[in-house]
Structure 1
Amino acid sequence: MPQQYKIDKVAEIESCIEQNAGLFVVSYNGLTVMQAQELRHALRECGAQMKVYKNNLAKIALKNQEQPEIDELLAGPNAYVFYETEPVEAAKALKTFAEKSKGVLEIKGGISDGKAVTADEVKAIAELPTKDQLLGQLAGLISGFARDIAVCVNGVSSGLARSIQQVSEQKAA
């Protein structure tokens, strides 16, 4: 019979999995307390949170929530980064911190959109533009098309007006 605190911890992990869109697994071996606080703060700013759980309890919770198996990632001291909506900002924060910490933090992989992702895929996600950047680019494209159409429509009417004026000047002469 499992101990009650382990049952509670598995329920807590399951709750985190349900409430968030996905998670990344990172190895934090060698991370100082100050670095961990800095990383947690950076993740909190982008709508993510980092938690440390026992790997066996995490495996049970992932299995209970019918998530893809990532057992090969769950070895050694791991931290789990749960992100609320979009993985890009959390992945960028992790990648930036990993580069800054010179290898102390290692991105192992995770689960995104219900699929297991590797460390390379997490780094590729970090290279993508954020949702706000994509929306800005889309708005720029739409306004560019609208402006081009307005210029074309205006060009037709002004060209017609100039032609009529030239014809009337020629007839008056």
Structure 2
Amino acid sequence: MSEAIIAKKAEIVKGISEQFHAATSAVVVNYRGLTVEQVTELRKELREAGVKMEVIKNTYLRRAADLNGYEDLDEVFTGPTAIAFSDDDAVAPARIMAKYADKFDALAIKGGIIEGKVATLDQILELSKLPDRDGMLSMLLSVLQAPVRNVAYAVKAVADSKNEEPAA
């Protein structure tokens, strides 16, 4: 093999390695059997969530994963493989891929990484059940407002009881 080809392949692996390094999560899937329309629909939803999905040769993925200390992922890089990277929302790739795996039998989640650690299929499915970032922020806001709301109700009840006329 010529040195130019080797250098080009090394550059590709380096780019994938940088994606692994920057990602808060990545989900590896087998997409064999999906129609063009199904893949287009999946990619559209992933793109809207800020997730980048790529089909990459397994040898490149193995080398890039090994460079980032994800040797345990090597076993999932077999057959037709697509990988979804997210730099911001750790839940989005898992949630969307799990949704489409339920919707289309041809899509199968193989594994991935979450916050710098290799994740099993079960861990990815657990993560997929969490709400998105906006949902979590809404839940947090609700929890933070509850004590203030309860104090307001108590103050209102005391004020209402003082305003009542005593029965004569």
TM-score past 0.5 threshold: yes
Answer yes or no: is 1:42 the counterpart of 2:45: yes
What is the one-letter code of the residue matched to 2:29? Answer: V
1:40-75 Cα offsets, whole Å, 9 max, x none, are 111111111111111121111112223352111111
Structure 2 gap segments, 5+ residues each: none
The Cα shift of 1:7 comes to: 1.0
Query: Which stretch of the first structure deviates more once superposed, 65-74 or 40-49?
Result: 65-74
Match of 2:115 in 1: 113
Match of 2:154 in 1: 152
Q: Please report the RMSD computed on the Cα atoms of aligned residues, expressed in angstroms.
A: 2.2
1:16-46 Cα offsets, whole Å, 9 max, x none, are 1233212111011222323222211111111
Q: In structure 1, which of residues 61, 64, 68 is the aligned counterpart of residue 67 of structure 2? A: 64
What is the one-letter code of the residue matched to 2:153? Answer: V
Using the size of structure 2 for normalisation, the TM-score is 0.85
1:119-163 Cα offsets, whole Å, 9 max, x none, are 22212211112221121122223323212101212333443565x
* Number of matched pairs: 165
Report the Cα distance in structure 1 between the residues aligned to 2:89 and 2:120, rounded to whole angstroms: 17
Report the Cα distance in structure 2 between the residues aligned to 1:160 and 1:30, rounded to whole angstroms: 71
Contact 1:29 1:105 in 2 (8 A): yes
Match of 2:9 in 1: 6
Using the size of structure 1 for normalisation, the TM-score is 0.83
1:61-100 Cα offsets, whole Å, 9 max, x none, are 1122233521111111111110122232222211221222
Q: 1:4 to 1:139 in 2, by over 3 A?
A: same
What is the one-letter code of the residue matched to 1:148? Answer: N
Give 1 or 2 for the bigger CA radius of gyration: 1
Q: 1:90 to 1:25 in 2, by over 3 A?
A: same
Answer yes or no: is 1:52 the counterpart of 2:55: yes
Contact 1:21 1:113 in 2 (8 A): yes
Match of 2:23 in 1: 20
What is the one-letter code of the residue matched to 1:128? Answer: L
SS in 1 for 2:112: strand
Match of 2:96 in 1: 93
SS in 1 for 2:118: strand
What is the one-letter code of the residue matched to 1:110? Answer: G
Report the Cα distance in structure 1 between the residues aligned to 2:121 and 2:9, rounded to whole angstroms: 29
Report the Cα distance in structure 2 between the residues aligned to 1:17 and 1:150, rounded to whole angstroms: 48
Residue identity over aligned pairs, in percent, reads: 32
What is the one-letter code of the residue matched to 2:85? Answer: F
Contact 2:30 2:108 in 1 (8 A): yes
